[in-house]
Amino acid sequence: MKIDIGNGKVLGTKRVSPNGQISGFTEYAGQEVLVVLPGGETDVKLGAKDLIREIQVATNEHMKVAFHQYKDLKRRFETPEKATKEFLAKNAPRSFQGLYEKVEFWVGEQLDRVEEKVEIALQDEPRSKSPSE
């Protein structure tokens, strides 16, 4: 079997010696070479350092992708309110139209009521308890 590797060199098949060395590769000493193993399943094992490096590279790539997605979303949706309105306008059924505004109004009313109750409670507190009690 001969393989053309693209740079003018053609490698033929090589026999592996009993001690696991491949004869005829002395001219490639110190260089990285491609070795194709015959048939069956290939068992490639990484050392701990190699495995950690692979995880670091993969994590870094995931972080880059996530950051680019974040930047794209930030460019498209300036505020959470704008994002919610646009999402509901595109994806919600017609019965949901105006839902965001209704929820905002309701939440605003609830907050106003709570603020009133807190203000009244804070004003009444000094009168209900005297320092001697």
pLDDT of the chain, 133 residues: tens digit per residue: 455 555 555 556 667 777 777 766 777 777 777 776 666 665 667 788 888 999 999 999 999 999 999 998 888 888 888 887 788 778 877 777 777 788 889 999 999 999 988 888 888 765 555 555 5
The residues spanned by each domain of the chain are 79-124
64, 70, 76, 81 alpha-carbon torsion, rounded to 10°? 180
Spatial separation of the C-alpha atoms in residues 64 and 56, rounded to whole Å: 12
Whose CA is closest to 25, among 55, 87, 17?
17
Q: How many CB atoms lie within 10 A of CB 57?
A: 10
